[in-house]
Structure 1
Amino acid sequence: MTDFHHTLRTMGLPLLELTESEQQQIIQLIDHQASFFAKVVQQKPDKPRHDLVLGLLTKCHQESLANFQATQATLSRVQSVFEETIGPTQALKFTTTSASDVRGYATLWFMAQGYTGIDFSYANDHANDIATLLAASAVVRENDPSVFRTGLMQAYYAGRQAAASKRQTGSGFLNQLKRLFS
């Protein structure tokens, strides 16, 4: 397990409610960024790992979102051509990684936001924006933005829960140490 994966696990990765395909997508995204994260850690060894994760995931999310938006018109036309030539049922088999990259990185990014204590309203506003963008896409099967927003906010709360658990564990150890020396 890479340092990046380990840090994400600490930040709430096991608490995320993901389908099998979503889990595989997230693992691929983590593996893809692991070596870059290692370089970032080497360059900034004095920074907390969770802050570095938040920064990296912010970058990854922004890049995946920009790619998704840049390719939307083309993907929509391709989807239309598929529907006209092979029919709507077969056209559903057409998939693109840009939408799943946005969902995957956004899920991790929201988890990191929750863990680091980013304000709820900031996270919620971004969740609404991302959910609306994904739901409006012709290549995304789910057209209900509330489904996307709910999933992103669940990731945010998974991060909050992991942070709270870590604080309780840490404070329990400190309390035991204080009792030992008092």
Structure 2
Amino acid sequence: MSNLTQVAIEIGIENLDVFDIHSPQWQTFCDSNDALFERVITAKPDKAHTHHLLGVLTKAHIEALSRVEKHHDAVQAMHQALEQNVGSHHQNNFHYQDGEQLAFVTHAWLYVQGYLGMDFSLANDHANSSAQALKVNQEVDAQALRSQFMASFYQGKEQGNAHLSHKKSSHPILEWFKKRFH
């Protein structure tokens, strides 16, 4: 298991409703970012690994969003050609991998933002930009998609708060002993 996957599991990301640690999207993300994650950990070992995960997901989100926006016209033409040639009922058999990757990375990225207690309005803006980009290339309701993305943010926030309260519930003397004798 990669460090990237291990850190994601440590923060409970596998409990995210739309997340599957064994999915092709996660494997694609790990294949593209494992080496970077390892370099960042080595370069800045004093920083929390969750912050490194956030940075790698930020980079992945920017790249995925850029690909979706860049190929907007070609994807629309492909959807139109599929609908005309195979019919709308068969069109669902074809998958837009860049769009699926953007959605997946957005969910994971917003989860980590929530986990780290980051700003709601910034997360909402990012959720909206991803939803708008995906709306153009897929026939989806952008508001519903934005709400799904924000649900991931709130799930992360809930998990992060639970982690903090568990950490705070330990007795200070017990924590001192753990630090001294660990």
Decide: shared fold, TM above 0.5: yes
Q: Which moved more, 1:98-107 or 1:164-173?
A: 164-173
The normalised TM-score by structure 1 is 0.85
Per-residue deviation at 1:73? 0.6
The TM-score, its normalising length taken from structure 2, stands at 0.85
For 1:28, the equivalent position in structure 2 comes to 27
Q: Which stretch shows the higher mean deviation, 53-62 or 41-50?
A: 41-50
Distance 1:76 1:69 in 2: 11
Contact 1:11 1:162 in 2 (8 A): yes
Matched, 1:106 2:103: no
Residues 123-138 of structure 1 aligned to structure 2 (within 5 Å): 123-137=123-137
Shift in Å, 1:23: 6.0
Partners of 1:166 and 1:118 in 2: CA distance: 15
Tell me the residue number matched to 1:159: 156
Amino acid at match of 1:81: A
C-alpha RMSD of matched pairs (Å)? 2.3
1:51 aligned partner: 51
Q: CA deviation at 1:6?
A: 1.7
Contact 2:19 2:104 in 1 (8 A): no
1:170 is aligned, of 167, 171, 181, to 167
**Counterpart residue identity of residue 141, structure 2:** D
- What is the alpha-carbon distance in structure 2 between the residues aligned to residue 8 and residue 97 of structure 1? 22
Q: Look up the SS of the partner of 2:95 in the other structure.
A: coil
CA distance in 1, matches of 2:135, 2:149: 13
Q: Per-residue deviation at 1:51?
A: 1.0
Rounded to whole Å, the distance in 1 between the matches of 2:159 and 2:10 is 7
Paired amino acid for 1:169 = H
Q: Which runs of 5+ in 2 are unaligned?
A: 178-182
8 Å CA contact 1:99–1:134 kept in 2: the answer is yes
Number of residue-to-residue matches in the alignment:
176
Within 2, Cα distance between the matches of 1:85 and 1:92?
13
Match of 1:146 in 2: 143
CA distance in 2, matches of 1:178, 1:75: 55
1:29–1:173: structure 2 CA closer, same or farther, 3 Å change rule? Answer: farther
Alignment of 1:33-44 (within 5 A): 33-44=33-44
Residue 18 of structure 2 aligns to a residue whose secondary structure is: coil
1:5 corresponds to: 5
1-structure distance, mates of 2:72, 2:63 = 14
The Cα offsets for residues 112-153 of structure 1, whole Å up to 9 and x where unpaired, read as 11112211111112212221221222xx25x11122112211
Distance 1:52 1:156 in 2: 18
Q: Tell me how far 1:176 sits from its aligned partner.
A: 5.8
**Closer, same or farther in 2 for the Cα pair 1:118/1:90, shift >3 Å?**
same
Structure 2 vs 1, CA of residues 81 and 26 (structure 1 numbering), >3 Å: closer, same or farther?
Answer: closer
Q: Describe the superposition over 1:80-129 as per-residue Cα deviations: whole angstroms up to 9, x where unpaired.
A: 12222222222332222100010011111101111122111111122122
Percent identity over the alignment? 24
Asked if structure 1 preserves the Cα contact closer than 8 Å seen for 2:65 and 2:133, the reply is no
Distance across 1 between alignment mates of 2:19 and 2:45:
34
